[in-house]
Chain A
Amino acid sequence: MAKHRLLAMFKDFDDAIECIEEIKAGKLTGKEIDDITVLSPIEHPDIDEILGPRPINIQKFTFVGAIFGCTFGFFFLSAAQASFLVQPQGGKAVVPFPTNFVLMYEMLIFFAVWTTVITFLFLAGLLRKRGSLYSEKLTVDEIGLMVEIDEHQLENSRSFFKDNKSLEIREEKA
């Protein structure tokens, strides 16, 4: 069955939250809170309470990046120092940990920051191909609720959002 996406626009967070509460209460047939995407010009401070817990995994990648940076830093510096043939210490490999620590620390941060940014691009769904359903008012002051529904629920959903103070409803085929 053909799927449709609906974007209902609201005047402010209060109206949008009221509508979300209605969906939570099962007033929009077949839809649960996890099917809803909230679009807004700012992040609502209590959005986690409203939508329920949704995972954020960036910090795990940051941690891996930091560990990699630190380890890579140590091995890179050690390898360089081991092959530093013209060192004044008579050709012996010298791997001084206290001074290398400074550079390992810098590399830890360097890799952690880059890993965080690259992970963010993927996990936030940026650069991903999406439908064209959008409203420029979302970067001004209106709040949007987006939901994907089956064709036969279309009329029902439209009237649900209209009843819940939606200012405008936009839709596209998924």
Chain B
Amino acid sequence: MSQVIQDKVIDENLKWSKINHDLIRTMETPGKMWWTAVLVCVAMVACAVAAEIYQYKYGLGSVGLNNPHMWDMYIATFVFWIGMSHAGTLLSAILHIIHAQWRKPIYRFAEAMTTFSLMTAGFFPMIHLGRVWNLYWVLPYVSDRGIWPNFRSPLVWDAFAISTYLSASALFLVIGMIPDMAVLRDHTKGWRKKVYGLMALGWRGDDRQWRNFRRTYMLMACFLIPLAISVHSIVSSDFAMSIMPGWHITSFPPYFVAGALYSGCAAIMTLFVVLRYFYRWEDYMTKNIMEKTCKLTFAIAMVWTYLNLIEFSSVWYGHNVYDKELLIDKATGPYAAVFWTMIICGMVAPFGLVFQSWRRHMPTMFVMSIVLQISMFTERWMIVAPTLSMSHAPHQWDILWGSVIEWAIVFGSFGWFSLLFLLFCKFLPAISTYEVKELCFHLKHEIEEEKREAEQKAKNTSAAGSQQPVSGSPGLEGA
């Protein structure tokens, strides 16, 4: 079997009308399952809203946030959601630039994930401010009192970087959907036709539009990659620019970026299995694509593991007494269970991705993706909590596991993200029809080309065979 056929991620003979139909089918009137999921998400968000109201009324101190634990759960969750947002950038931008064709059927929901996880992450700095009504102080506006935000603080960099990332990734998502909006405009009725017509912005698919579209998409991808890296580097600066033990580490920016890509990949795997199962998208979210996603995840997991080990060894051999003490405390102290969960789920579990039979078994991959995400959440907890618990001053040492209010808000954030994603899948195209069509088109031509070449080769061989001299007869070697 040829390499092209062996590596093909999708059936090249998929009818283009079927691709349109399969997308539109999932966006029809929602069923009971969808409504139930929405209700569950709304209930989760309600928990968070109730918790936030309590916190707003009684203050941050009432939920256990006080010196030294002024950050804790909220910032750990903030870093988790920011990390998740790197999935879209990885699949859309990086793999787009390197022409990885297999990303095409699955990149759209990863892009949506980027935008929604940023929308979720953005809540946490606000919630953790306590005095939410003073949020506008972060904005650089002209003040009569001559007061500006401190532009030298990584927290202000955060505000700039995240708002830039959110607007750029939302634009990237919206621009990429324009040709699909035209598909929906042309093949739906009623209010949907009107709304999609507006969102298609007059797209007709002429060569001028395609040319400019391609260039725009490529340019945006080129900007999104350094942006994504800068965002997580800046988030890591929130920690690394301080002199706290466990935070003041040079390798924090790449460590954060690798962790972000890792959690993004894990989230892609989860949603891949969910969408494949509920929307019956087996034709698009194929096992071959899952295999490639798993291989990518494994590679990133190994980079993350390596950076972890680098961090441990540089602390160990650096002989800074506070850093070393903290590292030992992480592994043996009150947070040891969380630490070892992170190590086992994040460093050992990914080795399961080595087995092909596991990679092709969807329920196993669903469980695996959850395990990897647990490791990523515990990683963020292990970055924030132990340093605050066991810092320089022993009289401040304190162990905290997060109050009910904090957990309720974290729980609600998952509901908020899921709610946005459910709405997205119902009202916007979760697979890119034109990219899938392109993939089928290319694949079909590659296979035909290969067949032609093989036939030509066979013809040449048989022609050469018929010209060969019969054994024993005088040859033409000397001719």
Q: Which residues of A contact B (CB under 8 A)?
A: 37-43, 45, 47-48, 51, 54, 56, 58-59, 62, 76-77, 80-81, 83-86, 96, 99-100, 102-103, 105-107, 109-110, 112-114, 116-117, 119-121, 123-128, 130, 134, 136, 138-141, 146
Bound together, the chains give a CA A42 to CA B211 distance in angstroms of 11
- Asked whether, in the complex, the Cβ of A103 is within 8 Å of the Cβ of B204, the reply is no
Q: Give me 10 A-to-B residue pairs in the complex whose CB atoms sit less than 8 angstroms apart, sorted by A's number.
A: A37-B208, A42-B437, A77-B151, A83-B148, A84-B146, A85-B146, A86-B146, A113-B167, A113-B223, A116-B219
Bound together, the chains give a CA A140 to CA B205 distance in angstroms of 11
Bound together, the chains give a CA A40 to CA B441 distance in angstroms of 13
- The residue from B146, B186, B205 contacting A83, defined by CB atoms under 8 A apart: B146
The smallest C-beta distance from A8 to any residue of chain B, in angstroms, reads 14
Indicate if B157 sits at the interface (CB-CB under 8 A): yes
Bound together, the chains give a CA A126 to CA B224 distance in angstroms of 23
- Asked whether, in the complex, the Cβ of A41 is within 8 Å of the Cβ of B437, the reply is yes
Bound together, the chains give a CA A51 to CA B438 distance in angstroms of 19
Indicate if B213 sits at the interface (CB-CB under 8 A): yes
Residues of B within 8 A of A59 (CB): 215, 219
Residues of A within 8 A of B15 (CB): 141
Indicate if B57 sits at the interface (CB-CB under 8 A): no
Residues of B within 8 A of A112 (CB): 219, 223
Indicate if B227 sits at the interface (CB-CB under 8 A): yes
The smallest C-beta distance from B100 to any residue of chain A, in angstroms, reads 16
Indicate if B56 sits at the interface (CB-CB under 8 A): no
Closest to A134 in B: B204
Closest to A63 in B: B219
- Asked whether, in the complex, the Cβ of A130 is within 8 Å of the Cβ of B438, the reply is no
Bound together, the chains give a CA A42 to CA B203 distance in angstroms of 12
Known: A84-B146, A85-B146, A109-B168. A102 touches B205 (CB 8 A): no
- Asked whether, in the complex, the Cβ of B151 is within 8 Å of the Cβ of A54, the reply is no
- Asked whether, in the complex, the Cβ of A54 is within 8 Å of the Cβ of B160, the reply is no
Indicate if B434 sits at the interface (CB-CB under 8 A): yes
Which range contains the number of B residues in contact with the other chain? 35 or more
Bound together, the chains give a CA A144 to CA B123 distance in angstroms of 47
Task: List which B280-309 residues lie within 8 A (CB) of chain A.
Answer: none
- The residue from B168, B219, B438 contacting A43, defined by CB atoms under 8 A apart: B438
- Interface contacts (Cβ under 8 Å), in number, total 163
The smallest C-beta distance from B437 to any residue of chain A, in angstroms, reads 5
- The residue from B156, B178, B220, B434 contacting A42, defined by CB atoms under 8 A apart: B434
Q: Which residues of B contact A (CB under 8 A)?
A: 15-17, 20, 140, 145-148, 151-152, 156-157, 160-161, 164, 167-168, 171, 175, 178-179, 182-183, 185-187, 201-216, 219-220, 223-224, 226-227, 230, 234, 434, 437-438, 441-442
- Asked whether, in the complex, the Cβ of A136 is within 8 Å of the Cβ of B186, the reply is yes
- Asked whether, in the complex, the Cβ of B152 is within 8 Å of the Cβ of A80, the reply is no
- Asked whether, in the complex, the Cβ of B204 is within 8 Å of the Cβ of A39, the reply is yes
- The residue from B16, B146, B214, B230 contacting A140, defined by CB atoms under 8 A apart: B16
The smallest C-beta distance from B407 to any residue of chain A, in angstroms, reads 33
Bound together, the chains give a CA A43 to CA B201 distance in angstroms of 18
- Asked whether, in the complex, the Cβ of A125 is within 8 Å of the Cβ of B234, the reply is no
Known: A126-B201, A140-B17. A117 touches B206 (CB 8 A): no
Q: Which 8 A-B pairs have the closest CB atoms?
A: A85-B146, A141-B16, A124-B212, A43-B210, A136-B186, A120-B216, A126-B201, A99-B152
- The residue from A96, A99, A120 contacting B212, defined by CB atoms under 8 A apart: A120
Bound together, the chains give a CA A47 to CA B167 distance in angstroms of 32
- Asked whether, in the complex, the Cβ of A58 is within 8 Å of the Cβ of B212, the reply is yes
Bound together, the chains give a CA A141 to CA B20 distance in angstroms of 10
- Asked whether, in the complex, the Cβ of A41 is within 8 Å of the Cβ of B16, the reply is yes
Bound together, the chains give a CA A121 to CA B157 distance in angstroms of 30
Residues of A within 8 A of B147 (CB): 84-86
- Asked whether, in the complex, the Cβ of A58 is within 8 Å of the Cβ of B157, the reply is no
- Asked whether, in the complex, the Cβ of B160 is within 8 Å of the Cβ of A103, the reply is yes
Closest to A55 in B: B211
Bound together, the chains give a CA A140 to CA B219 distance in angstroms of 27
Bound together, the chains give a CA A95 to CA B227 distance in angstroms of 24
- Asked whether, in the complex, the Cβ of B230 is within 8 Å of the Cβ of A105, the reply is yes
The smallest C-beta distance from B237 to any residue of chain A, in angstroms, reads 8
Q: A45-B442, A117-B220 are in contact. List 12 more A-B contacts (CB 8 A).
A: A37-B208, A41-B205, A85-B146, A99-B152, A113-B171, A113-B223, A116-B216, A116-B220, A124-B212, A125-B202, A139-B182, A140-B17
The smallest C-beta distance from B104 to any residue of chain A, in angstroms, reads 11
Residues of A within 8 A of B146 (CB): 83-86
The smallest C-beta distance from B165 to any residue of chain A, in angstroms, reads 9
